[in-house]
Chains A and B, each alone.
Chain A
Amino acid sequence: MKFWQKMYLSVLLLFLVVFNIFILSFANSVYQKNLDSIRILVNRDFSSFKSSFQKDMKELKTRRSLSDELVFVLFNSYANISRKQDVFLELQKNTHPLFSNLPFSSEHILVRFHDDSQKAVIYRNDNMNYYCIRSSLSEPFSEYTLVYIFPLTELESYFDQLAGKSLFAALSLSFLLALVLFFLSKGLTAPLLKLAKASQIIASGNYSQKLTITGNDEFAEVSRHFNNMAVEIEKKIALLQEENIKKQLLIDSMAHELNTPLTSIQGYAQYMLIAESDEQERYEALTYILKESKRLSLLGEQLRLLLETRNMELLYEKVNLLELLHTVIQMLHFQLEEKQITLTAPSRSAYFCCDITLITSLFRNIIENAIHACQYGGNILINFEHTNERLVIQIKDDGQGISEEDLEHITEPFYRIDKARSRSEGGCGLGLSLCKQIVQRHHGTLSFLSEKGNGTTVCLLFTTSLQLS
């Protein structure tokens, strides 16, 4: 059963039950109250009638002898008067009716008097309630019994009217309530339905669905939060999709990178088995195999480094950057000499809190790239700029530069600008991805300034106070 139906029915039912109980008990108390009043009046009337009648009987007895006829006449006159007040009377002598104008037999009534102490009963006959009093006359007339019956017509009709009115009130009120409650409960649960509908739409993938917020109540608040949630979910999903695409690209690139050297290795090995080759051919084939194997090896190593750098714990120590730079220059000494490249290092050092292994790799990769970019006799300039808020390291070469298009992608894994050249130099396209990773782990930024044909400047910026202390 729906919530609004539950709410509706429970309130309605509660009201009806309570209301009707109330009405009933109210009516009942009214009836009882009236009845009590009537009782008092009737009893009073009866008492006076009884004493009056007794007095008359006494007088009658003193004047003449009491005969049934005389008593009858006396009683009759009382009866007539009483009749005018709607009272029925009966006189019994020794349980034998002497006079009666009762509308029904007194036997029915008298059986209801269980003992002598009970004075009055209410007897229902022919859709009418009668208030009946029975009493014996006092001595010396104790053989005579009076029966006094008062029909409760007024009370009945009054009560009927009251019942009618109450029923009408109850019914119309119930109907009104039913109507109002119906619309109210439907109206109040409408926002919930809207919420449900919007949730459904979002679940099916349409994240732009928003709830309109009217008013300032709890529903408005829920709607506001709901809309926020939808926005956040949309953002998250877009992010995840982007990352997924990147991952897929990486996997594809990697598969390709693996495939190429393997094809060479497999091909040349097969060639040597099936072809009659001379010493030179064998030498060349084996050289290819070795070179490609080494390339695979390097690829594996770079990949491992890349993945490790993402997760490993950094060992921070205060490093003299100039010293570190000179170490790297020493490592690359041969390559620098081979191409007769002039490398200018900064004169003053800077201190940096970092992982020494990673930063060594970082410098090495960048400077190697610079060397590859330079012509014979080229220049590389390295700069440190150190203030309290930041450390900037610049590595500038006057080599062949990078086009705007390529600049966007150079830190992507396996991205190479000039595949042929890079391969012949043994590169596998992961160098700058690694550099980016290292810089990010140190909370810095890596940026490039370059123009095709006009050299490249690599810029490393570190600003966290952690690094600079």
Chain B
Amino acid sequence: MANIFIVEDDESINELIRRNLILVGHNCIQAYDGKEALTLFQHNSFDLILLDVMLPSISGFELLPDFVNTPVIFITAKGSNIDKIRGLTSGAEDYIVKPFDILELIARINIVLRRNFKESSIFIHNNVTVDFHAHTVFSDGRAIYLTPKEFDLLEILIHNRNIALSREKLLELAWGYDYPGDTRTVDVHIQRLRKKLAWEDIIKTVYKMGYRLGVTK
């Protein structure tokens, strides 16, 4: 749940990013050109900035020094390695290329937030509190015991909340690429989570897609 600044001149893409970030619980402010970006930056404090490299009349690289004390992730349409390297060595935290996968963007944002200690470590929904640092889950004040894998899965669902994740994706994220088992283990774990947290309505099954933790604000 961070304050994220989206600086992207293409309206539809800017909007697309905003919607996705809101889904997973971030707050977003949007700017469409360099001037607007600088003005808004003065009047707000952000946890992270998504900065398009190709803005009208100025490049993202040139704006970078003005965004002091805030981690920046560059967005660009260019896929060339030179630009990637330039992007990373110029002082940005990370670099993502259009068209990007939304899950990837969310994951990278989380990593950068974590690195800069801006990640929220607590998640609360109704009467359930999840502490990511302490690895504890409380429901109505009562401690709930989860196995490490169950906790991992829960964490992933929370970080990608409101987004449908496929079984394969969940398996990959929680169990790793090399896991030899199949996706049934995901189903089993989901069942257990639902039961333990009484979240049958929250952790929804999405037709043909997978599972979604649905906690709209």
Contact = CB atoms under 8 A, between A and B. Distances in A.
B12 A291 contact: yes
Given A268-B16, A420-B56, A276 B10 contact: no
B212 A276 contact: yes
Given A259-B77, A264-B10, A274-B209, A419 B163 contact: no
A263 B78 CA distance: 12
A260 B209 contact: no
Interface in A402-440: 418-420, 423-424
B19 A271 contact: yes
B158 interface: no
Interface string B9-38: 111110110011001000000001100000
Interface string B94-106: 0000111111000
Given A256-B77, A420-B11, A266 B23 contact: no
Contacts of A263: 10, 13, 16, 77, 98-100
Q: Which of A255, A273, A275 has the most CB of B within 10 A?
A: A275
In terms of DSSP, what is the predominant structure of the interface of chain A? helix
Nearest to A277: B19
B210 to A, nearest CB: 9
In the complex, which range does the number of interface residues on chain A fall in? 20 to 34
Contacts of B128: none
A255 B99 CA distance: 12
B39 interface: no
A262 interface: yes
B164 interface: yes
B13 A267 contact: yes
Contact of A418 (B12, B56, B100, B102): B56
Contacts of A423: 10-11
A281 interface: yes
Interface in B89-129: 98-103
A260 B13 contact: yes
A202 B9 CA distance: 48
Nearest to B20: A271
A270 interface: yes
Contacts of A256: 54, 77-78
B209 A273 contact: yes
B60 interface: no
Interface residues of B, number: 31
B160 to A, nearest CB: 9
Contacts of B12: 264, 268, 288, 291-292
A275 B163 contact: yes
Nearest to B208: A273
Interface string B38-72: 00000000000000001010000000000000000
Nearest to B57: A419
B83 to A, nearest CB: 12
Nearest to B214: A276
A174 to B, nearest CB: 71
B52 to A, nearest CB: 10
Contacts of B10: 260, 263-264, 423
Contacts of B98: 259-260, 263
Interface string A279-297: 0010000001001100000
Contacts of A255: 77
A255 to B, nearest CB: 8
Contacts of B99: 259, 262-263, 266-267
Contact of B102 (A260, A267, A424): A267
Contacts of A264: 10, 12-13, 16
17 contacts: A256-B77, A259-B98, A260-B98, A263-B98, A266-B99, A267-B20, A270-B102, A274-B163, A274-B164, A275-B20, A275-B23, A275-B162, A276-B162, A288-B12, A419-B56, A420-B32, A424-B11
Interface of B: 9-13, 15-16, 19-20, 23, 32-33, 54, 56, 77-78, 98-103, 162-165, 204, 209, 212, 214, 216
Interface of A: 255-256, 259-260, 262-264, 266-268, 270-271, 273-276, 281, 288, 291-292, 418-420, 423-424
6 interchain residue pairs of minimum CB distance: A263-B99, A274-B164, A259-B77, A267-B16, A264-B12, A263-B98
Given A263-B98, A264-B12, A268-B16, 15 more contacts: A259-B99, A260-B77, A262-B99, A264-B13, A267-B16, A267-B102, A268-B12, A271-B16, A274-B163, A274-B209, A274-B212, A276-B216, A281-B19, A420-B11, A423-B11
